[in-house]
Structure 1
Amino acid sequence: MSLSPQTAENADNRFSNTFLRLKKKLERGVGEAIADFNMIADGDTVMVCVSGGKDSFSLLSILLALRERAPVDFRIVAMNLDQKQPGFPADVLPAYFESIGVEYRIVTEDTYSIVRDKIPAGKTTCSLCSRLRRGIIYRVAREIGATRIALGHHRDDMLETLFLNMFFGGKIKAMPPKLVSDDGQHVVIRPLAYCTENDIARFARAMEYPIIPCNLCGSQENAQRKQIKAMLNGWARDYPGRIESLATALQNVVPSHLADQRLFDFQGLTRDTVVSEGDTAFDPPELPAPAAEIIHVGSPRAPSVGTST
């Protein structure tokens, strides 16, 4: 059977030097994030939440590739929640999971009807949809004995959330690479924390994943997040290195130079108080290395899932 020109081209792309470098870059980023935040340990069961979008497809592929050469043994279970959206192609993900030989679990819950019933027409459905989805994910994680829940959020998602919380929530708060779930029973990890959306999109196109759009809220993208994304994309275009600097800042917090009294004892501060930087706020900022030299945002490396010792 002959391949169509488009299929043949994409197959060639997956063996090109450009694609192999991209694949290696993403695997290195995921491996380093796993090591930096101790995301996966020997004997873990990692439930990878696969929505049918480019990010979760890529996360699953990269974790499967890293597991082949990881210094630890861990189980991967792909999980998809079929929310009964009209027209959802229920056969696509099971067929894909079986084609790559990964253990999987498909869960069917009609959250679509609940959201449509509770949210007035034209209003953003993301908040309620996310809460319902999280509850189901936690339940399934307990059922399969998952010790880690892996989500496909990447570096751009984390930065967008930081600015959303600053602009609209009055908090300096982003998406952490690792956290305890709302119910206190699970550890949630984001192994793509060092990966950019642009790299993931390029990888997904070459891999030809069977992408499934979200018809419930995909056409009414959150207006505030859309504004933040446009702002960050503009900075990336006009000011090379700025996004890398912002990502680095997430790991370089100086509580004594903010104003949160829960993090630093300003009332008890005296001349004898030891602080990390003193009055350097009046000095010129220390700029990071040029963008071309920045590979990741992390601490000095420990042996990781994605690297050899």
Structure 2
Amino acid sequence: MTMQKLLSKARQAINDFNLIEENDKIAVGLSGGKDSLTLLHILKNYQRFSPQKFELIAITLNPGNVNNDSLHKLCKELDIPFYEIQTEISKIVFDIKKEKNPCSLCAKLRRGALNDAAMKLGCTKVALGHHKDDAVETFVMTMFYEGRINCFSPKSYMEKFNLSLIRPMVYIDEYMIRKAALQYNYPIIKNPCPADGHTKRQEVKNLVKNLGGEFPNLKDKLFSALNNSDELFIWDKEKIKNM
């Protein structure tokens, strides 16, 4: 039943945002974490009954000295072509740049390497494993740290690579992904990043969780606000001045 629920939520997002089209070649960014592993299984299962025919591959970026044998084995079992790209991202971020706040640079390097690999492999789309909790946390982070209302999009086009970036799990709660990872015994690879669990995102995740104890259904309300463009009102000085 867990996979059926995940597929139902993913199908809703795919339909709402037109994430998958006929003859797409989709590269799943496979990190080895619970999110990307769940996404890979969702898309493989969805492929069986999707009204659109599409091809599926997996791309893993090795930041340096990570054993991804379990991912090779999994993709072989699922009959999904697997590509492991060796990088020096870890060396660049921590040894050369010596970043105190490494997340931004690391994410930029990973995005560039993943998109470049997908483009060279003839893909039309790259699928990432961001979920509902990620969306809410990003929404809150941009307000708290950047003073603006913003969040990643379920679908965006990257002209430089002629690729669309899709996030089919944006309607799926993180607890459902954790449940699936345990139930199906996904071969999770521990995040090798030294900053894992000590980031601003983790602080915001904890904040949203704690505030959820005081404000009922806070996460769902924040997510509704993110989707409710008809009710968006912000202070536009020129519009208000001319009322």
What is the TM-score of this pair, normalised by structure 2? 0.93
**Residue 35 of structure 2: which of 55, 60, 63 is its match?**
55
SS class of match (1:179): strand
Superposed, 1:48-127 pairs within 5 Å as: 48-85=28-65, 88-120=66-98, 123-127=100-104
- Where does residue 225 of structure 1 map in the other structure? 201
SS class of match (2:190): coil
From the superposition, tell whether residues 25 and 237 of structure 1 become closer, same or farther in structure 2 (CA, over 3 Å).
farther
Shift, 1:29, TM fit: 0.6
Superposed, 1:203-282 pairs within 5 Å as: 203-219=180-196, 221-222=198-199, 224-254=200-230, 257-260=233-236, 265-269=239-243
TM-superposition CA deviations, 1:48-75 (whole Å, max 9, x none): 1010000000001011111101111001
From the superposition, tell whether residues 256 and 160 of structure 1 become closer, same or farther in structure 2 (CA, over 3 Å).
closer
**Contact 2:13–2:171, Cα closer than 8 Å, also in 1:** yes
Shift, 1:182, TM fit: 7.2
Superposed, 1:164-183 pairs within 5 Å as: 164-181=141-158, 183=160
The amino acid of 1:190's aligned partner reads R
- CA distance in structure 2 between the partners assigned to 1:167 and 1:129 by the alignment: 21
SS class of match (2:229): coil
Q: Point out 4+ residue stretches in structure 1 off by more than 4 angstroms.
A: none
Shift, 1:257, TM fit: 2.4
- Where does residue 190 of structure 1 map in the other structure? 167
SS class of match (2:28): strand
Gapped regions of structure 1 (runs ≥ 5): 1-19, 270-309
**Contact 1:166–1:173, Cα closer than 8 Å, also in 2:** yes
- CA distance in structure 1 between the partners assigned to 2:172 and 2:11 by the alignment: 11
The amino acid of 1:103's aligned partner reads P
- CA distance in structure 1 between the partners assigned to 2:226 and 2:115 by the alignment: 27
What is the TM-score of this pair, normalised by structure 1? 0.74
Larger Rg, first or second structure (1 or 2): 1
SS class of match (1:250): helix
The amino acid of 2:211's aligned partner reads W
The amino acid of 2:170's aligned partner reads A
- Greater CA deviation, 109-118 or 56-65? 109-118
State how many pairs are aligned. 243
- CA distance in structure 2 between the partners assigned to 1:179 and 1:117 by the alignment: 32
Please provide the CA RMSD for this pair.
1.9
- CA distance in structure 2 between the partners assigned to 1:148 and 1:260 by the alignment: 35
The amino acid of 1:245's aligned partner reads K
- CA distance in structure 2 between the partners assigned to 1:23 and 1:47 by the alignment: 21
From the superposition, tell whether residues 205 and 183 of structure 1 become closer, same or farther in structure 2 (CA, over 3 Å).
same
TM-superposition CA deviations, 1:250-304 (whole Å, max 9, x none): 111357721146xx844444xxxxxxxxxxxxxxxxxxxxxxxxxxxxxxxxxxx
- CA distance in structure 1 between the partners assigned to 2:59 and 2:233 by the alignment: 43
- Greater CA deviation, 176-185 or 93-102? 176-185
- CA distance in structure 1 between the partners assigned to 2:107 and 2:159 by the alignment: 12
TM-superposition CA deviations, 1:72-98 (whole Å, max 9, x none): 10011111111114xx21322111111
Identity %: 31
Higher relative contact order (CA 8 A, sep 6+): 1
- CA distance in structure 2 between the partners assigned to 1:50 and 1:129 by the alignment: 16
From the superposition, tell whether residues 80 and 198 of structure 1 become closer, same or farther in structure 2 (CA, over 3 Å).
same
From the superposition, tell whether residues 90 and 227 of structure 1 become closer, same or farther in structure 2 (CA, over 3 Å).
closer
- Greater CA deviation, 160-169 or 102-111? 102-111
- CA distance in structure 1 between the partners assigned to 2:38 and 2:213 by the alignment: 25
- Where does residue 297 of structure 1 map in the other structure? none
Shift, 1:124, TM fit: 2.6
Which structure has the highest helix share of the two? 2
SS class of match (1:107): strand
